[in-house]
Amino acid sequence: MERETWLLWLLADSQLPTGGFVASAGLEAAMQARLIRENASETDSDSFIGFIRGSTYNQARFALPFCSRAHEETMHLISRVQSDVKDSATEGVDTDAVKADEDTADSVATDVIDILQRIDDYHQTMLSSNSVAMRASTAQGGGLLSLFNRGYAHARFMDHARGQLCVAIAKRLQRLARLGEMRAHWPVIFGFVCAAVGISIEHTQQLFMFQFVRQIFSAAIRLNLVGPLRAQALQCDMQLAASDLLEQHAHLRVAFDSPEDVFGESAVYTEPVLELYQGMHDRLYSRIFNS
């Protein structure tokens, strides 16, 4: 079995300790605001099917370009590190060459952190009007970063120059998050972690969308909106919708350094009504989710 396949199964696990199970992506607030009716038919505008299709489209147009850019930038920069410093030192390679490798690794780490901070800051700016979504994104991103540093960083497959470079970057990112110098939003950290463990951009995008859809269905079951068996059938049907969205929008990369975002070409929020209801989550009289 290929290592990438194994890692995809690990990251797709519903028990992944990142805190996603406490988020409903606005579903709970939408239910209490009557945006969704429990007995609505699938063709009604206020049905659960309409909600999840709209939310998934929003995820593909807003969050996915951030994830894709973070993954792409990380992959591009760490590819500059070709030699294994540890092996070079043990094989009697000239110390000047080893020092050059170390300098290159430090330069790459600084460049990766710089671009990830810029992507993260832009994501923070776009979410600044929605404190609930912002809190959920940073909580999940911080959880994934902690999982990488305390789990995957100690795996044997990370014991090489490229892997150790990614571990060093992840530790510095977590330190910056703790100091409040970056937020560590979920799409940004997800893209970085997948690149760090060697998952391709295509599989990263597919996994990112799958986890979002699965999260909403999990919340719908706990809210008694759908039963577990019906949820499995609906989740199977969502495969075609997710595939179509990826085919249309997988090429998008958030462009905070070009005029594209002035016209909403790279990342845009497509569900303003959902954003309003999601922002009201903290005002709910009773709730079981954090967002």
Q: How far is CA 7 from the centre of its chain?
A: 15
Structure tokens at 27: 């579903």
pTM, entire model: 0.89
The CA-based angle 38-44-47, given to 5 degrees, is 35
Is 85 in contact with 142 (CB distance < 8 Å)?
no
Residue 179 φ then ψ, to 5°: -80, -5
| Positions in the chain whose pLDDT score sits under 70 | 19-21, 37-46, 82-102, 258-264
Which pLDDT score is estimated for 43?
57
Which pLDDT score is estimated for 264?
60
Structure tokens at 95: 């110390």
Which pLDDT score is estimated for 100?
47
Which pLDDT score is estimated for 20?
66
Check the CA dihedral 47-53-56-61 and report its sign.
negative
Which pLDDT score is estimated for 196?
94
Which pLDDT score is estimated for 82?
55
Which pLDDT score is estimated for 32?
82
